[in-house]
A = this chain, B = another copy of it.
Amino acid sequence: MAKELKHLTKRAENYSQWYNDLVVKADLAEQSPVRGCMVIKPYGYAIWEKMQAQLDKMFKETGAQNAYFPLLIPKSFLSREAEHVEGFAKECAVVTHYRLRANEKEGGVEVDPAAKLDEELIIRPTSETIIWNTYRNWIHSYRDLPLMCNQWCNVMRWEMRTRPFLRTSEFLWQEGHTAHATREEAEEEARRMLKVYADFAEHWLAVPVVQGVKSATERFAGALDTYTIEAMMQDGKALQSGTSHFLGQNFAKSFDVTFLNKDNKPEYVWATSWGVSTRLIGALIMAHSDDNGLVLPPKIAPIQVVIVPIFKGDEQLAAISAKLKPVVEQLRQLGISVKYDDADNKRPGFKFADYELKGVPVRLAMGGRDLENNTVEIMRRDTLEKENVSFDGIVERIEKLLDDIQTNIYQKALNFRNEHIYECDNYDEFKERIKDGGFFLCHWDGTEETEAKIKEDTQATIRCVPFMFEQTEGVDMVSGKPAKHRVIIARSY
């Protein structure tokens, strides 16, 4: 085994360090010279592209269209929706000047003080304000509704503590912004998009999620309701993986967006917004990967199958390749992405370790003996099981194996998640057990005081009121007051 690739911290030793190591060693991303901003390397970006392609298709199936709105937002826009700015718009990158000039004394360039903007511009932390300012001109009548735009773009929030993919100052995301004639339609849209996110997480990322609604404290700034999908990582912590907001008429009122209804009377428009980001790559890594590296579900893996001939000299390589190349072609025609790695400047052991690290779901290897015996070695990354199998029917076998791996990865994550969801009715017990992670289903009296106390005592937060469990009334484990339902409480990223 190639030792240089294997210096990966073990999960049991230090889960957090394991994650950071893996992001770098699997060539997903690295720190940039700009504080809190990362470079997404080609292999990491290829995963993002696969996510984008599938999500984009799903968005368009709901009727959303893509568009592009400006990166910079006038400062005054952020003041328009009071709760919005109060909530999170403070830590922003601010553009104050528009020109550099030569620095005569010290060389290089300096900011030209004469080129000061009259009004500062903010790099979008999210685009509700500028989009609703635009929608005012696009919406006149009920015939213009619903209006459903999405944009794929970069956003910036000046984070103090950053971690690759999970929390960075600049990140890539998509933000959908929809406008509707009625409250019901907008609420339906917010829930529809939550379901799109949940379907995507489960069927493509193989990450089971809990769908639910946030408490008032955890809502998006300016929303009436924030829906969320919460995934469980292997350390039992929650990762908020996507949110969909019912915004009521808040932004329509702040930006004066009205429409004439069928009775020709003006009404304020109802709004939603919804987004997922490169954070999903973090979820993918932390949900499935192991001490050997990434484990990628086949549907999202940039390389689904790697084929490695093991050879001495050109003649043997030619003989093995003659047998394997048609398989490469057949797999590609099935839409499976295959890498044929016959590079002669790396040993097979090095290649194997590298593809394990990168999470390639299926590895095929064929050497001289295999060639004689009409066999091939097949390895599945999720279980690391190796088998020597007949070469006949290998294409069908691989096709089926990819499906099996997708299912298995999901099932494994689902079992883990289900084994770590606990009903809990005793606060002392909760405080003890939360240290080991997991999702705790607890009755909550609905007050901010209780929520704050739990956070203060345990660092855990109310992740959501989950939709998936049948709810019964009970008693809040902290306050002893009556509670309408159980919420999920967990520590989170």
Q: How large is the interface on A (under 10, 10 to 19, 20 to 34, 35 or more residues)?
A: 35 or more
Which stretch of A100-108, A178-186, A243-251, A462-470 is in the interface?
Answer: A100-108
A71-B133 contact, Cβ under 8 Å, with A42-B149, A94-B96: no
Closest Cβ neighbor of A101 among chain B residues? B90
B contact residues around A286 at 8 Å (CB): none
Q: Which of A108-147 contact B (CB under 8 A)?
A: 108-112, 120-123, 130, 133-134, 137, 143
> Smallest CB–CB gap between A490 and chain B, Å?
30
Q: Which of A51-110 contact B (CB under 8 A)?
A: 65-79, 85, 89-101, 107-110
Q: Is the CB of A65 within 8 A of B42?
A: yes
Q: Does A32 contact B (CB under 8 A)?
A: yes
Q: Which of A19-70 contact B (CB under 8 A)?
A: 30, 32-34, 37-42, 45-46, 48-49, 65-70
Q: Is the CB of A94 within 8 A of B111?
A: yes
Q: Does A421 contact B (CB under 8 A)?
A: no
Q: Does A156 contact B (CB under 8 A)?
A: yes
Q: Does A422 contact B (CB under 8 A)?
A: no
Q: Is the CB of A71 within 8 A of B32?
A: no
Closest Cβ neighbor of A72 among chain B residues? B34
Please measure, in the bound complex, the distance between the C-alpha atom of A92 and the C-alpha atom of B149, giving whole angstroms.
29
Q: Is the CB of B71 within 8 A of A45?
A: no
Q: Does A154 contact B (CB under 8 A)?
A: yes
Please measure, in the bound complex, the distance between the C-alpha atom of A153 and the C-alpha atom of B48, giving whole angstroms.
14
Please measure, in the bound complex, the distance between the C-alpha atom of A74 and the C-alpha atom of B154, giving whole angstroms.
18
Q: Does A172 contact B (CB under 8 A)?
A: yes
Please measure, in the bound complex, the distance between the C-alpha atom of A93 and the C-alpha atom of B414, giving whole angstroms.
47
Given contacts A34-B130, A94-B96, 14 further A-B contacts (CB under 8 A): A32-B130, A34-B70, A34-B74, A34-B121, A40-B67, A42-B65, A75-B109, A78-B108, A79-B107, A85-B108, A95-B95, A96-B97, A96-B111, A153-B154
CB pairs A–B below 8 angstroms (7 shown): A42-B65, A90-B112, A94-B97, A95-B95, A95-B96, A95-B123, A96-B111
Spell out A's residues near B (CB within 8 Å): 30, 32-34, 37-42, 45-46, 48-49, 65-79, 85, 89-101, 107-112, 120-123, 130, 133-134, 137, 143, 149, 153-154, 156, 158, 170, 172, 345
